[in-house]
Amino acid sequence: MIRWFNHPKDELLRDLALPAVGASCTPEAAQNLALVVALRGLGAVSPNPLVGAVLLDSSNRFMAAGAHERVGGPHAEANILAELTKSLGEKGLQARLKGARIFVTLEPCAHEGLTPSCAKALSGTGLKEVMYGVTDPNPLVRGKGAEILRDAGIKAVDASSHSDFKPWSLACEDLAGVFLHNISTGRLFTALKIASSMDGVVAFEGDRRFWITGERARAYGHFLRMTYDAIGVGAGTVLADHPRLNVRHPFLTSPLMTRTPRRIVFDPQGRALEFSLGSNVMPLLNEAPETTVWLVAQHRKASDLIHRGEARGIKVVPVPVEPDSGRFLWSEVDGALQTLGIRSVLLEGGAGLYNVALGNSDMRTRPEVNKIHLFQSPQILGDRSPAGAKALRWNTGTSMQQFIRQDRVQLFQLEGDWGFEIPMDAG
Ligand SMILES: NC(=O)c1ccc[n+]([C@@H]2O[C@H](COP(=O)([O-])OP(=O)(O)OC[C@H]3O[C@@H](n4cnc5c(N)ncnc54)[C@H](OP(=O)(O)O)[C@@H]3O)[C@@H](O)[C@H]2O)c1
């Protein structure tokens, strides 16, 4: 049986095999299947959530599964209805859905947007029950989808309010985490991806191309890139590593592999940009430059950098900084990225960017960290080059500990390394 928690999600996607139509399927298996089917929309549905659904007949036999696969495209429930209508016809569908149950990871939508209302479409089908994992916080939907279903005589069950279904509901929250955060706060979802040794070392001064974790953890890092709208790095990482920041993963196939999330560089002084403009070795300018967004401080040189950057096909965005530290004001970064349609960002390092996010930095410049993806290698590296080792500096003043959602931390093995997924409350 598929288990969502404590599993690398790329393996769930790779191993996804739908049961044969008519095969028996427990409600619990259907719930878990709905989570994994939802991953079919990875990288293609933002700003919408990933949503999956599974339909069982009145004798708990598998009928169909569907996902929201692309923004503007049909929702998971609508995909299922369309598939069944094609094979059974309208009348046949009505007959087969008598007594059937659908498990969907998010409350069916109540409103007509780019697509028709799913709650209304389900209402006319003869379905017995709709169980959904999370209530949609969108004011146009919240509770209204369930109301439409109940008015049509369908049992609408919110899994979060039943202790037996709570684990599934938490997994559905995890799946839709970015969307739930965006809708309920209006803010960007920010995650950190950190590869660290046991003693917290993340880099060495001037030590190029040094891998802390093994290949499996690095492949998972590439999968994670698919799950966010953008990837962010500091100027130091660009200068040290000349990163490509694209998606290269052995389990992902086209079209997922061909999508490059937006690439963001935090470079207030423009020092990495100056270097990159004067060289031919920088993939961020040479490969898919239209996906690169370079954040620089609003300073005298900004308009010159915008002009020269745009001549190379990248976007250069001036952002106000806090004058003493020279760091970007996070609310301004949030606004600038959302203006570009970016709702989530995965900050990948390096040490400087991590320490602004996790250390004792000014609250105005500190990103609101919503999730940490930590890959830990069982090595002690500080001995290797004690003077040059760059280690994580956790904030011990106002402890980060209080923001960790302990009951939702996930842990899994990635060959010789450990992967942690640590959801955080807004601090
Ligand atoms: N272990 C890992 O997971 C991992 C991941 C990525 C990189 N790395 C390694 O980390 C090393 C680079 O580290 P680094 O210390 O140079 O860190 P970095 O974060 O790559 O670069 C630091 C610089 O980025 C700018 N910056 C970062 N955050 C900012 C913010 N919030 N506001 C404004 N400016 C910001 C600043 O530029 P200015 O100084 O110009 O103001 C800062 O000095 C490389 O060796 C790389 O290989 C490790």
Contact 321, 268 (CB under 8 A): yes
Instruction: Look at residue 141 and tell me if it is in a domain.
Output: yes
Which helix H or strand E contains 96, and what residues bound it? helix 76-97
Mutate to test the pocket of ligand 1, among 192, 211, 266, 379 (most ligand atoms within 8 A of CB): 266
Instruction: Look at residue 82 and tell me if it is in a domain.
Output: yes
Mutate to test the pocket of ligand 1, among 204, 237, 337, 361 (most ligand atoms within 8 A of CB): 237
Burial 228-249, CB ≥16 within 10 A → b, else e? bbbbbbbbbbbebbbbebbbeb
- 260 and 356 part of one domain: yes
Q: What is the token pair recorded at 164?
A: 């037996």
Range of the domain at 82: 9-179
Instruction: Look at residue 237 and tell me if it is in a domain.
Output: yes
Q: How far is the CA of 245 from the centre of ligand 1 (A)?
A: 15
What amino acid positions are annotated as catalytic residues? 77
* Residue with CA closest to ligand 1 atom 24: 234
- 258 and 383 part of one domain: yes
Instruction: Look at residue 2 and tell me if it is in a domain.
Output: no
Bond into 313 cis (ω within 30)? no
Of the ranges 87-91, 203-207, 342-346, the best mean pLDDT one: 342-346
Last residue of a domain, one of 179, 210, 244: 179
pLDDT at position 258, please?
A: 67
Last residue of a domain, one of 126, 152, 179: 179
The domain tally of the chain equals 2
Q: Which atom of ligand 1 is nearest to the CA of 365?
A: 31
Bond into 243 cis (ω within 30)? no
Q: Tell me the CB-side half-sphere exposure of residue 138, using CA atoms within 13 A.
A: 18
Last residue of a domain, one of 179, 205, 229: 179
- 169 and 210 part of one domain: no
- 402 and 373 part of one domain: yes
Bond into 255 cis (ω within 30)? yes
* Residue with CA closest to ligand 1 atom 48: 350
Residue 21: closest CA among 53, 55, 51, 52: 55
Q: What is the token pair recorded at 37?
A: 């089917």
Sequence-ordered list of residues with C-beta below 8 angstroms from that of 285, at least 6 positions apart, any chain: 276, 277, 292, 312, 313, 314
pLDDT at position 208, please?
A: 63
- 51 and 86 part of one domain: yes
Instruction: Look at residue 274 and tell me if it is in a domain.
Output: yes
Of the listed ranges 329-333, 355-359, 397-401, the least confidently predicted one is 397-401
The response to whether residue 237 sits with its C-beta less than 6 Å from ligand 1 reads yes
141-194 pLDDT, tens digit each: 888 999 999 999 999 999 999 999 999 999 999 999 999 999 999 999 999 999
- 251 and 175 part of one domain: no
Instruction: Look at residue 3 and tell me if it is in a domain.
Output: no
376-398 pLDDT, tens digit each: 999 999 887 777 888 887 766 66
- Rounded to an integer, what distance in angstroms lies between the CA atom of residue 18 and that of residue 13? 11
* Residue with CA closest to ligand 1 atom 44: 237
pLDDT at position 427, please?
A: 54
- 45 and 158 part of one domain: yes
- 248 and 120 part of one domain: no
CATH code: domain of residue 42: 3.40.140.10
Mutate to test the pocket of ligand 1, among 211, 317, 353 (most ligand atoms within 8 A of CB): 353
The SS3 call for residue 51 is coil
- 143 and 213 part of one domain: no
Instruction: Look at residue 402 and tell me if it is in a domain.
Output: yes
Q: How far is the CA of 317 from the centre of ligand 1 (A)?
A: 18
- 43 and 192 part of one domain: no
The response to whether residue 295 sits with its C-beta less than 6 Å from ligand 1 reads no
Kindly report the CA angle at 173 between 254 and 342, in degrees rounded to 5?
A: 55
Q: How far is the CA of 351 from the centre of ligand 1 (A)?
A: 5
Taking 70 as the threshold, does the pLDDT of residue 256 lie above it? Answer: no
- 294 and 161 part of one domain: no
